[in-house]
């Protein structure tokens, strides 16, 4: 199962590896496209500290934008934070075949050569270069063991 829908909250799980085509497009998985319905759009953001992108479906993005709107518009620090979040962002659309084209600046930021890994991370999708994902995924995690698998 690649998603769980619990009372209007979509939980994205699973991972998919895709080769970029000659036009540097990738297939966005159909199970995740179905969750977005007719919107056919994603919002892509480079992570400020990790070599990955965060993708959000429209409903999650609207929820996050509402939080950003609540920050103090007169505070210079808050405004700088908003700019740093939105400056590198990109709105993505998929075509009839489910292909998306992530901008070259974002692909460069995460060091993608030809293959990407899409990872469902509950409320978002992470995009990694296949090489960096292998390095970022530890063999085991004490936090995961304790929080999720603890007591079983």
The predicted-structure confidence for 86-125, as pLDDT tens digits, reads as follows 898 999 999 999 999 999 999 999 999 999 999 999 999 9
Q: How far apart are CA 87 and CA 107, in angstroms?
A: 15
Q: How far apart are CA 119 and CA 124, in angstroms?
A: 9
- Please give the tally of structural domains in the chain: 1
Full-model pTM: 0.84
Quickly list H helices, 18-129. 30-36, 58-69, 76-86, 104-109
pLDDT digits (tens, 9 = 90+) for 7-17: 567 889 999 99
7 is in which domain, residue-wise? 3-147
Identify whether 66 is part of a domain: yes
Identify whether 152 is part of a domain: no
CATH code at position 76: 3.40.1550.20
Identify whether 128 is part of a domain: yes
Place 140 in a pLDDT band, splitting at 50, 70 and 90: low
């Amino acid at each position: 199962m690649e998603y769980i829908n619990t009372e209007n909250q979509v939980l994205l799980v699973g991972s998919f590896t895709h080769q970029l085509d000659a036009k540097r497009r990738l297939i966005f998985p159909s199970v995740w496209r179905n969750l977005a319905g007719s919107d056919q759009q994603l919002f892509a953001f480079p992570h400020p500290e990790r070599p990955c992108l965060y993708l959000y479906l429209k409903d999650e993005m609207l929820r996050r934008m509402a939080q950003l709107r609540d920050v103090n518009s007169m505070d210079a620090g808050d405004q700088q934070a908003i700019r740093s979040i939105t400056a590198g962002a990109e709105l993505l659309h998929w075509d009839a075949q489910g292909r998306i084209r992530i901008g070259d600046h974002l692909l460069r930021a995460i060091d993608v050569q030809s293959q990407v890994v899409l990872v469902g991370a509950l409320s978002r999708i992470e995009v990694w270069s296949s090489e960096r994902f292998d390095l970022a995924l530890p063999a085991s995690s004490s936090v995961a063991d304790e929080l999720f698998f603890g007591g079983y």
